[in-house]
Structures are given as structure tokens and as C-alpha cells.
Amino acid sequence: MSEGKKELPLDIFELTELMHVPEVCFELSMRMKLVKTDLQDKVETYHGRHREIFQELYINCGGGDNVYPRLYWFELAYFKQNDWGLRTMFPWPTPVFEPYRMLLPESVMIFMADASVDADKVVEMKMEYPMPHYRRLNFRFVRYSASLILGTLQDDFSQLTDMVANLDKTDAESFKKDPTLAMRLWRYLMYTKPELTESLLERFVDKFLPTVKAMEAERSLKAPAVSVTGG
């Protein structure tokens, strides 16, 4: 059924753009009618297989439970050459402290898209994101077709257990010993106590931003600089 990785004959951007041409739109609407009748079996096969993969990778693996580390379902679609985008992510929206681009950066999407894998087989992959936004993630995905990747991602559980067990002993020394600990612990705290967002941002504005702004002002006296704060 699926045909693995190859160049698509019609990309999504092109299709959306062509929709604006009345003649093409008319043609496609006629074709759409035929698709719904003549190619109905293919559509049903697609939806059926899609459901199976969702069941296998997400529902059967505890998807839907609001626990940490959270299991995310994602679908990536091919838009045009070297341009893959997120089509669906679930649960959605991702928490405010975790924009989806941090979970699934473009480079990772391209990596999955370019990976030479058998179509329709579940691929397991571990990814480690560099500092400062360090994280280790487990991916399971299926290359459904040339234009579609379906899969799940979840933070590696192994890096959580030790950290939680040693919470009482965590001090400034612990952060020096393990540079990844700060990021991992921060994420854990934000997931388990989302109400911390308010005090974090308050402190960030009151204590951190003035320091950065002063630094930027000092730097701009020497050379024009790009402001990170927009101020």
C-alpha cells in the first residue's frame, strides 16, 4: 500500500495555491466527487490503517493519561521539497512552557523524513537535544507514505527516576555536577506544579530582565545589537 520515500508528484503548498485558480478549483472539485465514489476503498484503507497505527503507538502505550512524562502523538506532513510540517499533535495545545517547536524542532522532522526506513514499519529512535534546552526523547514512528509520518514522542523515563528520588538532596552542588539536571528538573517542576509559571515569570521580569537590559544597553553603546527583550 505504502510506497516509502520518494518525491511527491503534487505538494501541499502547490495544491493550496492552485485552489485559488477558479478553473483548477473547478477541476479539483469534479475530481473530488470521483475520489469519493471511485477511490472510496483507498480512502477507507487509509483511514483504517491510520486508526490502527494510532491505537498501536498511542492508545496502547498509555496515551491520553495526563502523567509526566507525557506521551505525544504527532503527524508530520510533506508540504514541499525539504519542507515538512506538523499536521497534528495531541494533546494540544502543548503546555505554555513547552512550545511544540521545542518538542519537535524542524531539524528532527527533517531527520525523520530523510531517514531511510521501511514504509509501514514502526521505527524506534532516541534523540538527545543539545543544551541549553537539553532533553532526551524516545520516538516511535511509522513512515506511512511519501507524504505522511505518524508517531509518538516521550521524554526518556530513565532520566526521571533518579532525579525524583534525589529531590531532597538536590542543591547547588548537584547542578554543578550534572549540567543537564537544571533543565530536566525545571521541566519536571513545571509539569507537576504548573502554578509555578506565575512566580517564575514575575521573578524573571523583576530580577533577570533588568540585568539583561542593562547588559544590552552597555553593549549597544559599543556596537548596535539585537535586543532579545524587544525593549
Partner 1 sequence: MKYEVEEKGLNLVELLDYANIPEINAYFADALKTRQKKSDGFNEAIENYREAKKHFMNVLYVDRPDKTEPTPLYFFQLTKYGKDDWRYYDIYPAPVDISPFEVLPKELMVYMGNTAAHPSEIVREDRVWSPKLGKYLELCYVHYSTTFILGTVRDSNYRPKSAPKRKKKKVKVLSEAERLKINPELGYAILFNCWSMYPTLMDGFIQDFMLDVLAERNQAKLDMKEASNV
**What residues numbered 47-76 form the site for partner 1, per CB under 8 A?**
none
Contact between 230 and partner 1 by CB under 8 A: the answer reads: yes
Question: Within positions 164 to 223, which residues make up the interface with partner 1, using CB under 8 A?
Answer: 167-168, 170-172, 175, 179, 182-183, 185-186, 189, 193, 196-198, 200-209, 211-212, 215
Contact predicate 57/73, CB 8 Å: yes
User: Which of residues 157 and 219 has its CB atom nearest to partner 1 in the complex?
Assistant: 219
List binders of partner 1 among 121-150 (CB under 8 A): 131-133, 145-148
C-alpha cell at 15: 495544491
**Under the criterion CB under 8 A, does residue 31 sit at the interface with partner 1?**
yes
Q: Which residues of 159-173 are buried (b: 16+ CB within 10 A; e: fewer)?
A: bbeebeeeeeeeeee
Give me the phi and psi of 90, to 5 degrees please.
-145, 130
| Part in contact with partner 1 (CB under 8 A); list of ranges 3-11, 109-117, 121-129, 151-159 | 3-11
- Separation CA 132–CA 137 (nearest Å): 15
Q: How far is the CB of 188 from partner 1 (least distance, A)?
A: 10
Q: Which of 67, 96, 115, 164 binds partner 1 (CB under 8 A)?
A: 96
> Quick one: CA dihedral 184, 105, 131, 140, positive or negative?
positive
